[in-house]
Structure 1
Amino acid sequence: MHLFDLHGKVAIVTGGNRGLGGAMAYGLAEAGADIAIVQRSAEETEVAARIRGLGRRCETFSYDLAQIESIPKLAADVKERFGRMDILVNNAGVQRRSPAADFSEEDWDFVMQVNAKSVFFLCQTIGREMLQQGRGKIINVASLLSFQGGYTVPAYAASKGAVAQFTKSLSNEWAGRGVNVNAVAPGYMATEMNTALLVDEVRNSQILQRIPAGRWGKPEDMAGAVIFLASEASNYVNGEIITIDGGWMGR
């Protein structure tokens, strides 16, 4: 199991204070990593306390990732406090729902800024440090809508399509320099972002009928794939988008 051992590694998880991000951060800590959680709020979270309960170091960094200019300072802060950056999980994301005919420019720009632009520049900024180290693991969070168009979420679909594509682009440039860039694409997960679908009896039923596993995903379903991509077990895995969807894409 040494291939999956993350002791001595430092993982940055954006949006790691709850939901999918919290589950991924906790999973990485279980595998031995120390965790830097990036969140908008400065408040301490239950996730951080649970990680420390494992005997791992966990610190929170309060940054608004919609503000691209703050990314270099974030990277510098993490490096100063931890001394290194080995793993980056770009999980933070936002959603806006509206029929395409009515979708506002404001909502479009906000979703693209957080879900695509900030993710790329986090990859670039922290990737530079990893390239200097000659090693690193970047895991972007894509979506089923990296492959499909969705419904009333045109900006989200566009942003997640962008994440999948620049994951491959970065991998082409960095795979030979010791930095693995991959992505995970969660399916329908029972999280706050999907509340509108969960409470819609018709859409909920339609979604469940399409999932071979017969259930919505849970945040903890993300942990195994992320540990794999963060560990030495995936050293020859580059530019992949791994779906975690209960079989949805296989239908």
Structure 2
Amino acid sequence: MSFSVADRVILVTGGGTGIGAWATEAFVKGGAKVYITGRRESKLTDVVGKMDQIAPGKTIPFPCDLGKEEDIDKLTEFIKSKEERLDVLVNNAGPFYVDTVDEAHDPTKGMDQKCPFPLAFSPADAWKEQFAVTTWAPYTLTLKLIPLLAAAAKLGDGRGSVIQISSIAAKFWNPYWSIPAYQASKAGQEHTSNILASKLYTFGIRVNTVSPGSYDTDANPSFHEAAMSHPSNNERIPLGRSGGADDIIGPILFFASGASKYVTGQRLDVDGGVMLVANGTNKIAPYAQDMESTLKA
């Protein structure tokens, strides 16, 4: 059994920031060749610059918008022109849409009763973009890369691995959070992961899901009071803190390596225990302390 990713060819979408950038660094340090994508070329350039100090020429950027089929086609053709196989595909890219909660978007406007939780209308275009990049794109990109993934799978040792980076939001319905488009799209991504796993095992391709909880990233910055990674929420996370790079790269390396060669169709929450308390108890909420006091009264 080996956790090594040496000499593996890997594609990481959303590789310019956050978990995608952390995974890229772990892969490069492990001896892999890594292609990274993202909409912001400057972010990709920054990551490549850092990775070249570790292993020159091992990180190749390809700017694209995965919400557009023509960009997915350009990406797959680029990879196919460079490689005969793809050992690992990490589907990590995805926007993070938050509802605008104000009077203009309030569905209870004019009613005597007001909802004590954030509730808002949101534009169709926001949901379309969220689902296009988070749910449709990983499914479509995986399908278009089947020939390269299957070629890798024939070599054995866990190659031909698809890793879906989802979120605990897929199973998270705590009423205090106003991210329904994100939550629904992640649930869709996880369901398509199982669909892919159930079909692609015939090629030897494995599909597994890593679902992070709270991590200090661009989308969840610890300095922002409304972010889950804000220190004020640490006491609400069973293990007492948000996660960091070292917490998430281990599971990703597991699914990318031969150590997981007998694993497919699985989901792993890497959340410090958040899902033990997130739903029903309302502990993961801005006013958790007040609610607990009320319930005890």
- Give the alignment partner of residue 148 of structure 1, picking from 172, 179, 186: 172
- Report the CA distance between 1:29 and its aligned residue: 1.5
Tell me the amino acid that sits aligned with residue 81 of structure 1. Answer: K
Q: In the alignment, what sits opposite 2:78? A: 77
- Report the CA distance between 1:205 and its aligned residue: 6.3
- Report the CA distance between 1:190 and its aligned residue: 1.0
Paired-residue identity, %: 29
Matched position secondary structure for 1:4: coil
Q: 1:102 & 1:196 partners in 2: Cα distance?
A: 27
Q: In the alignment, what sits opposite 1:107? A: 126
- Report the CA distance between 1:96 and its aligned residue: 1.2
| Deviations 1:149-197 (CA, angstroms, capped at 9, x unpaired) | 2521111011100111111111111224311100110101111112498
The alignment covers a number of residue pairs equal to 250
Compute the TM-score of the two structures, normalised by the length of structure 1: 0.91
Q: In the alignment, what sits opposite 1:171? A: 197
**Runs in 1 of length 4+ with deviation above 6 angstroms?**
none
Q: In the alignment, what sits opposite 1:157? A: 183
Compute the TM-score of the two structures, normalised by the length of structure 2: 0.77
Are residues 1:37 and 2:56 paired? Answer: no
Q: Is the 8 A contact 1:142 1:241 kept in 2?
A: no
Q: 2:91 & 2:132 partners in 1: Cα distance?
A: 13
Q: In the alignment, what sits opposite 1:48? A: 48
Q: 1:117 & 1:76 partners in 2: Cα distance?
A: 19
Which protein is bigger by CA-based radius of gyration? 2
Worse-superposed segment, 152-161 or 46-55: 46-55
Greater relative contact order, per chain length (Cα 8 Å cut-off, separation 6+) = 1
- Report the CA distance between 1:30 and its aligned residue: 1.7
Q: Which runs of 5+ in 1 are unaligned?
A: none
Q: In the alignment, what sits opposite 1:7? A: 6
**Relative to 1, partners in 2 of residues 1:232 and 1:199: Cα closer, same or farther, differing over 3 Å?**
same
Q: Is the 8 A contact 2:212 2:270 kept in 1?
A: yes
Q: How large is the Cα RMSD of the aligned pairs?
A: 2.3
Q: Which has the higher helix share?
A: 1
**Relative to 1, partners in 2 of residues 1:51 and 1:203: Cα closer, same or farther, differing over 3 Å?**
closer
**Relative to 1, partners in 2 of residues 1:81 and 1:148: Cα closer, same or farther, differing over 3 Å?**
same
Q: Is the 8 A contact 1:24 1:220 kept in 2?
A: no
Q: 1:211 & 1:17 partners in 2: Cα distance?
A: 27
| Deviations 1:70-99 (CA, angstroms, capped at 9, x unpaired) | 212211202323443111101111011115
